[in-house]
Amino acid sequence: MALSKIDGEIDNIDQEKYLRQATHYYCALEKPLKFGPAVDSLPDLISALHREFDANYVNIEMVNHLMLAYKSNPKEWRKYAKFDRYTYTRNLVDAGNGKFNLLILCWGEGHSSSVHDHADSHCFMKMLKGELREKRYRYPNRGGDEEQQQQQQQQDHQHINDHELVEIGDKPIPVNDVAYINDNLGLHRVENPSHTDTSVSLHLYCPPFDMCNIFQSNGKKIPAKVTFWSKYGVRNKANEQ
Ligand SMILES: N[C@@H](CS(=O)O)C(=O)O
Ligand SMILES: [Fe+2]
């Protein structure tokens, strides 16, 4: 029967391959799904994510919904929130059985990331506390869809050096909102613009990655290893990968 054939195909999906392919069309949900499940706490979010990733076929819209549906409660995430004086920190909350990484990022006053990509993974970034600003850039020299080719033609027309980073967005992310990006949507740089307050964000990456690229303003791409400042609420030197 046709239906069981589709079920069978879904069962045979290579989850990692499927997730990477989905970055070509997935954009983002602005609001939680009207009839989507409720998420009452951080442990609840983690269990719901595990359930979602247990099946081979992952509904990426549902992952987006779950991230939106969680309402930040500092009591639940405080134990993971470890700051450094000099740079933002990446703190592993859950390794998702190797299928996703959930991290708490802690941003001191004025801290920012470099312009970077996300290794062909989905990146959901939920604000838990404070302010963050996200600047987006076109991914340089990325072949592909029509829109990008049009952008490229426009730039050629305007004699913009095709290697230079071109800004395509700049917006604040309010608390409890979720920003979504993947390499097909562009690169970004995230900054805590406040000089008096720290910020905290919750990031979900799927598939997980340990290398990405950072970009200089001339578009030069430099591979970079990503590391964890702490794992499961515990900071020690051995955590540094
Ligand atoms: N993607 C960055 C954080 S951000 O600037 O989006 C990271 O995982 O370190
Ligand atoms: Fe990022």
214 C-beta closer than 6 A to ligand 1: no
Residue 200 pLDDT > 90, yes or no? Answer: yes
**Cβ 226 under 6 angstroms from ligand 1:** yes
Q: Does residue 178 have a pLDDT over 60?
A: yes
Pocket test for ligand 1, best of 87, 116, 118, 225 (most atoms within 8 A of CB): 116
Which domains, from first to last, does the chain contain?
Answer: 10-239 (2.60.120.10)
Could you tell me which residues are beta bridge partners of residue 169? 136
136 CB within 6 A, ligand 1: no
Residue 125 near ligand 1, beta carbon < 6 Å: yes
**146, amino acid identity:** E
Query: Please, which residues have CB within 8 angstroms of residue 223's CB and are 6 or more apart in sequence?
Result: 211, 212, 213
Q: Which pLDDT score is estimated for 146?
A: 58
Give per-residue pLDDT as tens, 148-163: 556 555 554 554 455 7
pLDDT of residue 1 exceeding 50: no
Burial degree of 65 (CB within 10 A; 0-12, 13-18, 19+): buried
Cα distances from 162 to residues 73, 145, 151, 154, 165, in angstroms, run: 44, 16, 10, 11, 8
Range in 18-22, 90-94, 237-241 with the lowest mean pLDDT: 237-241
Q: What digits encode the pLDDT tens for the residues 105-137? A: 999 999 999 999 999 999 999 999 999 999 999
Rounded distance, CA 66 to CA 52, Å?
10
**What are phi and psi for residue 135, nearest 5 degrees?**
-105, 130
Which of ligand 1's atoms lies nearest the C-alpha of 190? 5
Would you say 176 and 72 are in contact if contact means Cβ atoms under 8 Å apart? Answer: yes
> Ligand 1 mean position to 63 CA, how many Å?
18
On average, the pLDDT of the chain sits at 90
Q: Which ligand is nearest to the CA of 190?
A: 1
- 122 in ligand 1 pocket by Cβ < 6 Å? no
**pLDDT in the model for residue 145:** 56
The DSSP code sequence of 71-87 is ---HHHHGGG----SSS
The mean per-residue pLDDT over the stretch 134-144 comes to 88
- pLDDT of residue 144 exceeding 90, the answer is no
Which pLDDT value is given to residue 163?
Answer: 74
Mean pLDDT value across residues 12-22: 91
Range name among 40-44, 221-225, 237-241 with the lowest pLDDT average: 237-241
Mean pLDDT of 206-217: 97
- By alpha-carbon position, which residue is closest to atom 1 of ligand 1? 118
pLDDT-derived band of residue 4, with 50, 70 and 90 as boundaries? Answer: very low
Tell me what pLDDT residue 114 has: 98
- Annotated binding residues, written as ranges, equal 116, 118, 188
Residue 35 tokens, joined: 């009839």
